[in-house]
Structure 1
Amino acid sequence: MKRYERFADEIAVLIRTGVLAPGEKVPSVRHASRTYGVSPSTVFQAYYLLEDRGLIQARARSGYFVREHARRPLHEPEQHVRPAQTTEVDVSELVFSVLDSLKDPDTVPFGSAFPSPELFPLPRLARSMAQSVREMTGQAIIADMTQGNPDLRRQIALRYMVSGVRLPLEELVISNGALEALNLCLQSVTAPGDLVAIESPAFYATLQVLERLKLKAVEIPVHPREGIDLEVLADSLEQLPIKACWFMSSLQNPLGASMSDEKKRGLYDLLCRHQVPLIEDDVYAELYYGVQPPRPVKSFDSEGLVMHCGSFSKCLAPGYRVGWVAGGRYAQRIARLKLMTTISPSVPAQAALADYLQHGGYDRHLRKLRHLLESQQASMLASAARHFPDETRVTRPAGGYFLWFEFPQRVDSLQLFRLALAQGISLAPGPIFSATRAFGHCARLNHGHPWDAQSEQAMATLGRILAAF
């Protein structure tokens, strides 16, 4: 990373944490150069970058100021703690009805689970695919159908080192996207009828997997900023025969919450005492906005109790369907289950990703992607403040591309979903994120698509629909 990019990130942290408030002047170029020991040209480049990211703006003959749209007029949601419940899961029909709405390319994709494909380096990936296929041997095609392409596994292991995890290659199993990895993890430690602790709200695919495997959900509340409620989890582990936990410790979907390192350590220690395995869903790990990547619970794992799942689908190549799991003590069991089901992800896709990670400028792509997503988040927050009811609450994740909106209690988000869809706008209504159909006045909106006049108009339309409730 270049010096001006590091300096821009330092200023962005001050804005994000409120040290530099909306409307406040940022240090002048001369003052910043003297204080931080960098050249004026470095400061100018950093400020130009912050302008592009939508965080500051220049005022003629006055300097640079934190943009007013960074103001936070909408409050954040509060945690509503409910007793943990054991629930039979039956949400698939509701989820599929929502997902079907995304098939129309003319629909504004606020309900999508992916960022825009325009943000991914697809032409460069295509060159990596062509190069890797030309160099592929017949023997490699067969050999790589076990735990996965060895070059790709090495590249993934190197990225684990950045987040403080020293991972033996034999622990890594390549999968058909993260969802297969999560399925395999769950199957390796549960049987039909078992209890699984999940988040509330939870990613809807979590609920669908539990429904398919005939598992029962124990919903643990999630704080909008701080993540899983450890007290409720501790009580549940004492009282119920929970066989596994499936949590997102960083940039949780749909809330965007991230646990502190201290809390992640507390979660790991709690699960160790009960010897309950953790399936750590970490597919948004590369989409943090800050300077340092979030530390996974896996980094504390000295007993092989954590199955850590990742993917390239959210940050690089959705259609390639390549994910992985660092399976800990369960790695061999997971690998065998995979051989009994899908055998192997696409071997050419694995080779292409290995080539791209080695030669394609992955970190440069990620920096650009994070900056774009942060800028688009600011645009959606500003638009929501303009158009949505004053009582609306919204999360402000430090990464990813989702915002969770808590509307006034009078709003029925399923009805909102239907009314918005009639206007060509999709969204993800709150009940699809709960086994008990809770969060009926909430919705998740995706800001992972370039912000334009159509996006702004869609937010205004949603505002008018909300005002009619």
Structure 2
Amino acid sequence: MGNLYHQLASEIISQIESGVYNVGDRLPGVRVTSTQRGVSPATVVAAYNELLSGGYIESRPRSGFYVNKSVIKDFELPQITQHKMIPRDVVDQQMILELFHQIQEVAEVNLGGAVPDVKVLPTALVEKSIAKMARLERLNVCSYESYARGNLPLRQQIAKRMALLGCQLNVDDIVITNGCQEALLLSLKAIAAPGDYVAIESPSYYGLMQIIQHLGLKAIEIPTDPVEGISLDALQLAMEHWPIKVCLVVSNFSNPLGASLSDAKKKSLISLCRKFKVNLVEDDIYGDLAFGHQRPSVCKRFDEKVIYCSSFSKTLAPGLRVGWVASRQIAPVVGQLKFMSSMACPTIVQYAVADILKSGKYERHLRSMRIQLAKSMHELITAIERYFPAGTRITQPQGGYVLWVELPSENLVSKSFDTYELTLRLMEEKIAITPGKIFTTTSKYKNCLRLSSGGLWSPQKEKALKRVGELIKQSYKN
């Protein structure tokens, strides 16, 4: 029953979010749904209980289940920052590394990390697969991986998964990496040289900027809509003025905004990159974490020349460090770079992930995880509404587990208000958030921060977010 009720709940959430059911609509009764879906009444009840706990529906005595009227406040979206789109060196990355070292040492409640709560991860499944493959492949798992591009069974499983996304790949088009971070680094190293220009979203994931600094590239930040993603008009203007070598986007549920590109926008982005002969690198690390039933498409579906990067760090287990690059054009070069830098990824881990994918248990895990993430994001947004000052703007992602908060710029006690200083203050109380200034190469986003639901909401997180709100409100005049 477990897998069925998660799937049913996920489908109903998708129907609510797509407008099939509107606020106040009555859902079909348990018996009707049971007959329509061909599942037991117990499965329907379990699914409805999931939706009740997530705030999607409400139960009315002797009447049935209704789409919840007590919906989350309609927050205004963060503003799109207008700025000069000029190439910039990435600096101050040492400050970021020091900040996160401090957070790891002292934080007891992490409200900012883009990492899944271990309680929503299939730890038992991972343990069993590792033990199983250690037994079955004991002559291989203690040896170097035979192929620099990665374990063949794993690449076969990834190719099959990507075929479901409309991407036709050979196993030799795929290179296994130590997470998505290495996938991005090796991809950029394969196609760009020091001094080249890279167009990125703004705000943009700080880990990407660390890569850009390491490779001696220059970043051009492109204004990005908090819902629709990177501005194509602004990107075209930048391409007309600068010899951009690479455009890198997080296509689905981006970090830190949570924005997603529609299919139409993905196609337009591809056309724009073709026109100006710009390499398009797609980071799709959050694509499997849609709250609804439908997994969004990827840019690579519409153009096989797109360089696709992803990993299982956000969905299966961060500690496994299994990512990949998918690109027929640069796979040979990326494979060579991988061999020169670290030879290969751990063999046993690759066998274990391949086993999990082949078993079909990964998809069943995703159905459960998506439900948990949707519930947790709902709780996080509700708590922001409860504790943060009036005028706060937030994104409301439809997948993943991070959102972007823009605090009001009016009525501040001090014009020098900076969420970085707030981050340091909260660390004294063992609470972690992620300040906005680390997501840019400029001085923007000082009144912004990234928050993460982390996968499971808890009374401890609720209490911590309340304290964050209290300290923020102290920065404003009554």
**Under a length normalisation based on structure 1, what TM-score does the superposition of the two structures give?**
0.93
Task: Say if 2:469 is the partner of 1:463.
Answer: yes
Corresponding residue of 1:271: 273
Corresponding residue of 2:237: 235
CA contact (8 A) 2:229 2:260 kept: yes
CA contact (8 A) 1:145 1:347 kept: no
CA contact (8 A) 2:55 2:375 kept: yes
For residue 76 of structure 1, report the CA deviation from its aligned partner.
2.0
Corresponding residue of 2:246: 244
Change (3 A) 1:174 1:369: same
Matches within 5 A, 1:33-432: 33=33, 41=41, 43-67=44-68, 70-104=71-105, 106-136=107-137, 138=139, 141-142=143-144, 144-302=146-304, 304=305, 306-359=306-359, 361-409=361-409, 410=412, 411-432=417-438
Distance in 2 of aligned mates of 1:422 and 1:70 = 34
Distance in 1 of aligned mates of 2:387 and 2:151 = 49
3-state SS of 1:97 partner? helix
Change (3 A) 1:20 1:406: farther
For residue 418 of structure 1, report the CA deviation from its aligned partner.
1.8
Task: Say if 2:436 is the partner of 1:435.
Answer: no
Distance in 1 of aligned mates of 2:34 and 2:324 = 46
For residue 131 of structure 1, report the CA deviation from its aligned partner.
1.6
Residue identity (%) = 36
For residue 213 of structure 1, report the CA deviation from its aligned partner.
1.2
Distance in 1 of aligned mates of 2:50 and 2:166 = 29
| Cα RMSD, aligned residues only | 2.3
**Under a length normalisation based on structure 2, what TM-score does the superposition of the two structures give?**
0.91
For residue 182 of structure 1, report the CA deviation from its aligned partner.
0.5
For residue 35 of structure 1, report the CA deviation from its aligned partner.
11
Letter in 1 for 2:185: N
Count of matched residue pairs: 466
Task: Judge which range, 26-35 or 374-383, deviates more.
Answer: 26-35
Q: Give unpaired runs (5+ residues) of structure 2.
A: none
Distance in 2 of aligned mates of 1:146 and 1:53 = 44
Distance in 2 of aligned mates of 1:235 and 1:365 = 43
3-state SS of 1:329 partner? coil
Letter in 1 for 2:207: A
Distance in 2 of aligned mates of 1:174 and 1:31 = 47
For residue 237 of structure 1, report the CA deviation from its aligned partner.
1.1
Task: Judge which range, 201-210 or 37-46, deviates more.
Answer: 37-46
For residue 52 of structure 1, report the CA deviation from its aligned partner.
4.0
CA contact (8 A) 1:327 1:334 kept: no
Letter in 1 for 2:470: R
3-state SS of 2:342 partner? coil
Task: Judge which range, 46-55 or 161-170, deviates more.
Answer: 46-55
For residue 30 of structure 1, report the CA deviation from its aligned partner.
7.2
Letter in 2 for 1:338: K
Letter in 1 for 2:374: E
Letter in 1 for 2:157: Q
3-state SS of 1:370 partner? helix
Letter in 2 for 1:437: S
Distance in 2 of aligned mates of 1:256 and 1:391 = 20
For residue 50 of structure 1, report the CA deviation from its aligned partner.
1.7
3-state SS of 2:335 partner? helix
Q: Render the CA deviation track for 1:283-342: whole Å, top value 9, x for unaligned.
A: 11111112221111111114x2x1101101110021111110002311111111111111
Distance in 2 of aligned mates of 1:39 and 1:248 = 37
For residue 33 of structure 1, report the CA deviation from its aligned partner.
4.4
Distance in 1 of aligned mates of 2:63 and 2:216 = 63
For residue 429 of structure 1, report the CA deviation from its aligned partner.
0.5
CA contact (8 A) 2:17 2:292 kept: no
CA contact (8 A) 2:144 2:344 kept: no
Change (3 A) 1:3 1:321: closer
Letter in 2 for 1:29: G
Q: Render the CA deviation track for 1:90-127: whole Å, top value 9, x for unaligned.
A: 03123123312331365211121211122211222112
Q: Render the CA deviation track for 1:207-228: whole Å, top value 9, x for unaligned.
A: 1111111111011111000001
